[in-house]
């Protein structure tokens, strides 16, 4: 297949392709965090879960030869971290944000500790689906190589939105997140609901890590995450605890991240550090523009420690 | 690279001393002969993980070769930042493990950390990778580096023969002279095959940043670059991403054949095993290492990865011929008349910069044909 | 402990022990948690086939046993003290600011650039100017996060995180562009500081003056919070920001003031890194002290006095990391795992405060 000279079209194409390639980890972590926060807890430690997921996913994929088993292992590791967070936070007086930071450290440390032997080997990668067959342009075909996990994430966003809106499980999580007392009055065990929500959130973050190490960029090393897990937690607040918004926020962040390299590739080369900061500047700008003192925490679960 | 190993250590030390010219002052390794009798403790310090398929791995392979030598104890520490940490690490190796020869292998370790520590420990030798030593620095500091730009020139020759689109790509960390020289050399090598070739460069701004390196590689492929090389600490992500997009790959730092398979053309590698074992032999035999040591292909400081199956016969022939020219010494990648990519003349007609020219060590311009900017 | 053995009658009728024991709770519980975390980590070491005895022996040896160990430990402490204050001060008002790293690197840049302007000045004036510039930038960076929270309701945790990334990008752009010393070829830096503008080591201990300034800053912050009306107002507001607003406390000014103070300290951390360690502003400033500071502050329960021992402890752990790599053939991440376990244990111990009768005055008065 001969490359076609696409010139400046490379920029929007790169943003589109970047949005699809880079956004998936943000999408999974933010959906997981959204679920956890809707139940009234913050798990700031998903960055550690993501890194451990990346390592364990890569290791299992390498040892078994199956990238899907790797994703499963990463999800399982995420569940374990989620359960630890959820269990510790049920004790009175324990600060969930601080525990999150501690688990971020522990997850990162354990991932680096056990990950040393897996920096060198090459594990099998997750396959992708070609959605660009209609185009003759190889760059478009390449941009539309979509990983299954991206599609799963998109469906998951819609599913969670529907779940919160229309199902009993969703209602239970929302009630627990909005008022422990009301939940108790309804005979709900708030701690258990939060434990399970945090565990599920951890599983999502683990999958996000597996996407990094098994698909894009597709390699395990100690610099694999550049803070995706931490940023995704921020995106949830930005997305106002709405799973559909999480999807758009992740796409926006991924696309903005592709801007810097794409601009350089078409010759806009001055001040690339500033272009690389585009996702952060854009998010901060939108955050400031959409916030106001009156509705600062609109949509926020009332039990969340940051809203109190 | 067995065909070059016949060159004796004497030749390698002698020629590097000659190359270093006037700056090569005889260093003093305190109590050198006493060291030869007692077991030697050598410390290696890396800025990143030892298995990064790149810069740190190249040094760690050198350390592994030293480890196999008799009478030497090797200490290693990885992931040591260029902060007060490295000073502490060096001092800890000296105080707790009695290290007398230390190889702090990252560029940023030199100033201020090695410079501050060296006067405190006159009996310890600090061998810094980077070629920064000047005669007014303490005599127990040594500096060494290789002319790896020549390796990127050879990469360029292989790339020039493999490229169909006549566009080749370079993923670079930061626009510092060493990186800029590699970019220029890569393009000039390719242009020695076909003067119409251009090289697109993308700076990631960091020595190690996996996702950005992958994005940069994809952006280069989108613009039609069909041979990609890089200068980042760990080339693993660039190699795998480029090969995955169907582009050819030229390696850097270490051998990445295992990562890119048939897409791997060749690569510019460090040969630290040869350099380090030579230095240890010097110390063990009671000699002193020169303060300023540099070398290229001929001196076994660098080597090329074995050529991949995708290199054509014509490419192979020109690659070997160019390599022979470089081995002979005095090779110039920069030959006048040469302009930079803003149109200003940088090398006048008839002029040239040979591999050992000090002007290359402060080079700040990208030559004509490189698409990109250093700021 | 002599006082404990011979209880003296307190004017109000309570014995000394009934006053001391409740205070001891704040010491005994963290130490017990430290021990529990160390036990958990020992188990981990045994599982991977390494000796906990060797490990703790090496931590002691490398971090605390000799003069060199202490020098190594203290060399890390100064930036941690300042970075922790940048977290702890806003935290007393209930704000979680996690972006101190941004203010540290920008403060360092400001100090480096100011230093090039102050060449030839008397050292005291030059250093003062550099410190002021560093603090000013730190104040601007972190206080604007506080102001955004108050004026527009922007969540300070995200804002500070985003601004840390932006600060680092800005720093890299400026150091490698406009402020770059053309002679700094392969490691882009600002112009090197002249000898007079470098901060040296303190007498007797080989640690730079930043450690002392940091300790004094911690003490001053403790006095501010525990012994002044301003600090009292802050503590009230920290318990419940909205209730404090309803009560008419100047919450807005408190938030901006405390974030500004935190930012000033973060800027000072950058100043000391440049003036005492690096000699110019360059990429080595981005060393993650801002993030380790979060850890220190939370471990110290945002108590400025407790920050001092916690920072020294973490400095000692960091100092031993190398020796553990070399002697035990363990990866460098071992210390991260150890810190993580201790951190979890100490946070978990929060739940046992007030559960032991032995720490209540009543327990002792009954006797």
Indicate whether A275 belongs to any domain.
Answer: yes
Q: Which residues on adjacent β-strands are paired with residue B230?
A: B171
Q: List the CATH number of the domain containing A204.
A: 1.10.3470
Q: Give yes or no for A214 touching B (CB within 8 A).
A: no
Angle (CA) C221 C128 C85, round 5°: 25
Of the two residues B59 and B5, the one the predictor is more confident about is B59
- Interface confidence (ipTM) of the complex: 0.90
Nearest-angstrom CA–CA distance, A9 and A135:
14
pLDDT at A304: 80
* Chain C, nearest residue to B43 by Cα: C326
Residues of A in contact with B208 (CB under 8 A): 221, 223
Q: What is the largest CA-CA distance in chain A?
A: 67
pLDDT at C106: 98
Shared domain check, B223 and B362:
yes
- CA–CA distance from A17 to each of A64, A182, B374 (Å)? 30, 45, 26
Pairing of strands B198-203, B370-371: parallel
Residue A241 near residue A38, CB atoms below 8 Å: yes
Q: Per-residue pLDDT for A120 more than 70?
A: yes
Indicate whether A153 belongs to any domain.
Answer: yes
Q: Cis omega before residue B258 (within 30°)? A: no
Please report which confidence band the pLDDT of residue A307 belongs to, taking 50, 70 and 90 as the band edges: low
Nearest-angstrom CA–CA distance, C367 and C365:
5
H-type alpha helices, chain B: 9-20, 32-37, 55-67, 84-97, 115-117, 149-162, 177-191, 210-222, 236-244, 257-260, 272-284, 313-328
Of the two residues A256 and B30, the one the predictor is more confident about is A256
Q: Token digits for C169?
A: 């990008």
Residue C37's nearest CA partner among C305, C250, C354, C338 is C338
Which residue from C68, C177, C185 is facing B362, i.e. has the nearest CB? C185
Indicate whether B306 belongs to any domain.
Answer: no
- C251-272 and C123-152 are packed helices; what angle lies between their axes, rounded to 10 degrees? 140
First to last CA, chain A: 58
Distance from CA of A128 to the nearest CA of C (A): 31
pTM: 0.90
Mean pLDDT of C196-216: 90
Average pLDDT over chain B reads 88
Shared domain check, B30 and B114:
yes
Average pLDDT over chain C reads 90
pLDDT at A137: 81
Q: Per-residue pLDDT for C269 more than 70?
A: yes
Nearest-angstrom CA–CA distance, C250 and C146:
14
Mean pLDDT of B90-112: 93
Q: Token digits for A208?
A: 């996000």
Mean pLDDT of C31-35: 93
- Kindly determine whether residue A273 and residue B240, on different chains, have CB atoms separated by under 8 Å: no
Shared domain check, B213 and B155:
yes
- CA–CA distance from B66 to each of A67, A160, B9, B74, B328 (Å)? 38, 57, 15, 7, 29
pLDDT at C153: 86
- Tens-place pLDDT, residues C123-172: 999 999 999 999 999 999 999 999 999 888 888 988 999 999 999 999 99
Nearest-angstrom CA–CA distance, C261 and C239:
20
Q: What is the CATH number of domain C65-365?
A: 1.10.3470
In a mutagenesis test of the A interface, which of C90, C336, C346, C352 is the best target, namely the one with the most A β-carbons within 10 Å?
A: C336
pLDDT at B26: 35
Q: Give yes or no for B52 touching A (CB within 8 A).
A: yes
Q: Per-residue pLDDT for B12 more than 60?
A: no
Q: For residue B63, what are the domain limits? A: 2-146+271-295
pLDDT at A9: 77
Residues of B in contact with A222 (CB under 8 A): 48-49, 79
- Kindly determine whether residue B205 and residue A1, on different chains, have CB atoms separated by under 8 Å: no
Please report which confidence band the pLDDT of residue B200 belongs to, taking 50, 70 and 90 as the band edges: very high
Shared domain check, B161 and B214:
yes
Q: Per-residue pLDDT for A35 more than 70?
A: yes
Nearest-angstrom CA–CA distance, C297 and B226:
51
- Kindly determine whether residue B259 and residue A4, on different chains, have CB atoms separated by under 8 Å: no
Q: CB within 8 A of A100, min separation 6: which ones? A: A42, A43, A44, A45, A46, A85
Q: CB within 8 A of C26, min separation 6: which ones? A: none
Q: CB within 8 A of B237, min separation 6: which ones? A: A217, A218, A219, A221, B210, B213, B214, B217
Shared domain check, B157 and B126:
no
- Tens-place pLDDT, residues A226-235: 888 988 888 8
Q: List the CATH number of the domain containing B78.
A: 3.40.50.2300
Nearest-angstrom CA–CA distance, B323 and C15:
89
Distance from CA of A59 to the nearest CA of B (A): 15
Long-range contacts of C69-74 (CB under 8 A, 24+ apart): C69/C316, C69/C319, C70/C205, C71/C205, C71/C206, C71/C207, C72/B88, C72/B91, C72/B92, C72/C319, C73/C312, C73/C315, C73/C316, C73/C318, C73/C319, C74/C205, C74/C207, C74/C211, C74/C312, C74/C315
- CA–CA distance from A25 to each of A158, A228, A260, B109, C247 (Å)? 17, 7, 19, 35, 44
Which residue ranges make up each domain of chain C? 65-365
pLDDT at B32: 41
Phi, psi angle pair for B285, to nearest 5°: -90, 10
Shared domain check, B64 and B204:
no
Q: For residue A119, what are the domain limits? A: 7-290
- Tens-place pLDDT, residues A147-170: 999 999 999 999 999 999 999 999
Please report which confidence band the pLDDT of residue B369 belongs to, taking 50, 70 and 90 as the band edges: very high
Of the two residues B52 and C191, the one the predictor is more confident about is C191
Nearest-angstrom CA–CA distance, A33 and B311:
50
Residues of B in contact with A139 (CB under 8 A): 221-222
Phi, psi angle pair for A184, to nearest 5°: -65, -40
* A294: number of Cβ within 10 Å: 7
Q: Which of A54-58, B357-361, C215-219 has the lowest mean pLDDT?
A: B357-361
Shared domain check, B358 and B281:
no
Q: Token digits for B303?
A: 């080597």
Average pLDDT over chain A reads 90
Q: Give, as one character, the DSSP assignment of residue A121.
A: S
* C123: number of Cβ within 10 Å: 14
Please report which confidence band the pLDDT of residue B10 belongs to, taking 50, 70 and 90 as the band edges: very low
pLDDT at A297: 61
Nearest-angstrom CA–CA distance, B38 and C52:
32
Question: How would DSSP label each residue in A170-238?
Answer: HHHHHHHHH-HHHHHHTT--HHHHHHHHHHHHHHHHHHHHHHHHHTSS----TTS-SSHHHHHHHHHHH
pLDDT at B27: 37
Indicate whether A304 belongs to any domain.
Answer: no
Mean pLDDT of B157-167: 96
- Tens-place pLDDT, residues B135-147: 899 999 999 999 9
Mean pLDDT of B291-310: 94
Q: Give yes or no for A276 touching B (CB within 8 A).
A: yes
- CA torsion angle for B165, B167, B173, B175 (degrees, to 10)? 180
- Kindly determine whether residue A261 and residue B258, on different chains, have CB atoms separated by under 8 Å: no
pLDDT at A18: 83
Residue B271's nearest CA partner among B297, B234, B289, B291 is B297
| Residue numbers of A between 225 and 254 with CB closer than 8 Å to C | 227, 230-231, 234, 237-238
| Residue numbers of A between 145 and 204 with CB closer than 8 Å to B | none
Residue C238's nearest CA partner among C222, C220, C225, C224 is C225
Contacting subunits of B (3+ beta carbon pairs below 8 A): A, C
Mean pLDDT of A3-14: 73
Residue C273 near residue C101, CB atoms below 8 Å: no
Indicate whether B57 belongs to any domain.
Answer: yes
Q: Give yes or no for A285 touching C (CB within 8 A).
A: no
- Kindly determine whether residue A109 and residue C340, on different chains, have CB atoms separated by under 8 Å: yes
pLDDT at A298: 66
- Give chain B's domain count: 2
pLDDT at A296: 54
- Tens-place pLDDT, residues A283-297: 899 888 888 776 656
Contacting subunits of C (3+ beta carbon pairs below 8 A): A, B
Nearest-angstrom CA–CA distance, C315 and C299:
14
Q: Per-residue pLDDT for B2 more than 50?
A: no
Indicate whether B203 belongs to any domain.
Answer: yes
- CA torsion angle for B277, B279, B282, B286 (degrees, to 10)? -110
Mean pLDDT of B253-278: 95
Q: Per-residue pLDDT for C99 more than 80?
A: yes
- Residue B371: in which H helix or E strand, if any? strand B370-371
Token pair 């130490």: residue: C31
Indicate whether B14 belongs to any domain.
Answer: yes
Nearest-angstrom CA–CA distance, B242 and A83:
39
Strand, coil or helix: what is C100?
helix
Distance from CA of C26 to the nearest CA of A (A): 15
- Give chain A's domain count: 1
- Tens-place pLDDT, residues B222-245: 889 999 999 999 999 999 999 999
C132: exposed, middle or buried (Cβ count in 10 Å: 0-12, 13-18, 19+): middle
First to last CA, chain B: 38
Distance from CA of C360 to the nearest CA of A (A): 18
Q: Which of A128-142, B106-120, C317-331 has the lowest mean pLDDT?
A: A128-142
| Residue numbers of C between 77 and 116 with CB closer than 8 Å to B | none
Q: Per-residue pLDDT for B30 more than 70?
A: no
* Chain B, nearest residue to C178 by Cα: B375
Which residue from C153, C176, C348 is facing A292, i.e. has the nearest CB? C153
């Amino acid at each position: 297949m001969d490359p076609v000279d696409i010139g400046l079209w490379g920029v929007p194409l790169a943003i589109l392709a970047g949005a699809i390639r880079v956004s998936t980890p943000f999408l999974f972590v933010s959906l997981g965090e959204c679920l956890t926060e809707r139940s009234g807890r913050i798990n700031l430690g998903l960055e550690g879960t993501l890194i451990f997921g990346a390592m364990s996913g890569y290791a299992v994929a390498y040892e078994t030869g199956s990238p899907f088993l790797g994703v499963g292992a990463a999800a399982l590791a995420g569940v374990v971290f989620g359960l630890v967070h959820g269990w510790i936070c049920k004790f009175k007086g324990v600060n969930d944000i601080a525990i999150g930071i501690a688990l971020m450290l522990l997850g990162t440390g354990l991932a680096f500790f056990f990950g040393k032997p897996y920096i060198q080997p090459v594990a099998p990668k997750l396959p992708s689906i070609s959605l660009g067959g209609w185009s003759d342009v190889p760059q478009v075909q390449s941009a539309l190589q979509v990983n299954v996990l991206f599609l799963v994430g998109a469906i998951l966003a819609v599913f969670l939105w529907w779940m919160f809106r229309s199902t009993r499980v969703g209602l239970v999580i929302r009630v627990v997140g909005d008022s422990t007392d009301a939940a108790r009055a309804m005979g709900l065990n708030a701690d258990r609901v939060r434990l399970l929500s945090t565990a599920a959130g951890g599983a999502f973050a683990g999958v996000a890590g597996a996407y990094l190490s098994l698909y894009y960029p597709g390699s395990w090393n100690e610099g694999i995450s550049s803070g995706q897990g931490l940023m995704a937690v921020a995106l949830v607040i930005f997305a106002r605890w709405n799973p559909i918004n999480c999807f758009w926020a992740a796409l926006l962040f991924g696309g903005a991240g592709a801007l810097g390299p794409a601009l350089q590739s078409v010759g806009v080369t001055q001040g690339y550090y500033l272009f690389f900061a585009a996702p952060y500047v854009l998010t901060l700008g939108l955050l400031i523009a959409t916030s106001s003192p009156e509705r600062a925490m609109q949509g926020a679960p009332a039990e969340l420690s940051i809203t109190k | 690279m067995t065909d070059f190993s016949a060159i004796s250590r004497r030749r390698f030390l002698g020629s590097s001393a000659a190359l270093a010219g006037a700056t090569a002052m005889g260093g003093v390794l305190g109590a050198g002969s006493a060291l030869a009798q007692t077991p030697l403790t050598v410390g290696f310090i890396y800025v990143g993980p030892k298995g990064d398929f790149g810069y740190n791995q190249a040094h760690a392979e050198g350390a592994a070769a030293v480890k196999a030598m008799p009478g030497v104890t090797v200490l290693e520490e990885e992931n040591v930042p260029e902060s007060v940490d490295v000073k502490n690490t060096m001092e800890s190796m000296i105080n707790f493990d009695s290290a007398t020869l230390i190889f702090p292998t990252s560029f940023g370790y030199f100033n201020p950390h090695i410079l501050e520590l060296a006067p405190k420990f006159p009996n310890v030798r600090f061998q810094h990778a980077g070629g920064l030593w000047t005669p007014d620095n303490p005599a127990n500091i040594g500096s060494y580096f290789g002319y790896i730009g020549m390796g990127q020139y050879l990469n360029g020759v292989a790339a020039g023969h493999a490229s169909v689109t006549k566009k080749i790509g370079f993923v670079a960390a930061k626009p510092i002279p060493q990186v800029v020289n590699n970019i220029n050399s890569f393009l000039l090598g390719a242009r020695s095959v076909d003067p119409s070739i251009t090289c697109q460069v993308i700076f990631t701004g960091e020595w190690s940043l996996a996702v950005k390196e992958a994005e940069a590689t994809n952006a280069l492929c989108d613009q039609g670059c069909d041979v990609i090389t890089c200068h980042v600490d760990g080339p693993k992500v660039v190699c795998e991403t480029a090969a995955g997009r169907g582009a050819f790959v030229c390696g850097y730092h270490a051998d990445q054949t295992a990562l890119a398979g048939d897409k791997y053309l060749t690569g510019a590698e460090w040969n630290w095993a040869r350099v380090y074992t030579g230095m240890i032999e010097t110390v063990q035999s009671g000699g002193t290492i020169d303060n300023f040591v540099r070398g290229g292909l001929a001196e076994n400081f660098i080597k090329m990865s074995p050529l991949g199956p995708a290199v054509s016969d014509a490419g192979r022939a020109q690659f070997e011929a160019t390599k022979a020219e470089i081995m002979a010494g005095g090779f110039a990648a920069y030959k006048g008349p040469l302009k930079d990519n803003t149109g200003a003349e940088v090398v006048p007609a008839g002029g040239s910069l040979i591999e050992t020219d000090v002007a290359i060590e402060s080079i700040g311009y990208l030559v004509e044909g490189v698409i990109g900017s250093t700021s | 402990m002599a006082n404990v053995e011979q209880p003296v009658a307190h004017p109000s009728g309570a014995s000394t022990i009934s006053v001391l024991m409740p205070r001891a709770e704040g010491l005994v519980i963290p130490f017990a948690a430290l021990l529990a975390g160390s036990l958990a980590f020992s188990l981990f070491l045994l599982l991977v086939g390494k000796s906990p005895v060797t490990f703790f022996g090496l931590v002691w040896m490398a971090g605390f046993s000799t003069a060199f160990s202490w020098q190594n430990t203290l060399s890390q402490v100064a930036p941690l003290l300042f970075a922790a204050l940048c977290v702890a001060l806003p935290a007393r008002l209930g704000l979680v600011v996690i972006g101190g790293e941004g203010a540290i690197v920008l403060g360092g840049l400001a100090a480096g650039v100011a230093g090039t302007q102050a060449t030839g000045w008397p050292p005291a004036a030059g250093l003062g100017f550099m410190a002021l510039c560093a603090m000013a930038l730190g104040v601007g960076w972190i206080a604007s996060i506080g102001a955004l929270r108050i004026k527009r309701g922007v969540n300070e945790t995200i804002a500070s995180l985003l601004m840390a990334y932006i600060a680092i990008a800005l720093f890299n752009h400026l150091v490698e562009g406009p402020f770059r010393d053309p002679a700094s070829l392969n490691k882009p830096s600002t112009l090197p500081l002249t000898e007079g503008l470098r901060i040296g080591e303190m007498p007797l201990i080989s640690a730079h003056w930043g450690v002392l300034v940091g300790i004094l800053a911690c003490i001053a912050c403790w006095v501010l919070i525990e012994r002044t009306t301003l600090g009292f107002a802050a503590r009230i507001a920290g318990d419940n920001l909205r209730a404090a607003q309803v009560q008419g406390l100047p919450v807005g000014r408190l938030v901006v003031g405390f974030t500004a103070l935190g930012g000033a300290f973060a800027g000072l951390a950058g100043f000391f890194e440049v003036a005492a360690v690096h000699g110019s502003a360059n990429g080595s400033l981005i060393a993650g002290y801002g993030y380790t500071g979060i850890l220190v502050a939370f471990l110290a329960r945002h108590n400025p006095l407790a920050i001092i021992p916690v920072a020294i402890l973490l400095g000692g752990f960091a100092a031993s990391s190398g020796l553990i790599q070399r002697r035990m053939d363990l990866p460098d991440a071992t210390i991260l795992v150890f810190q993580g376990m201790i951190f979890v244990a100490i946070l978990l111990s929060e739940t046992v405060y007030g559960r032991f009768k032995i720490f209540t005055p009543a327990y002792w008065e009954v006797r």
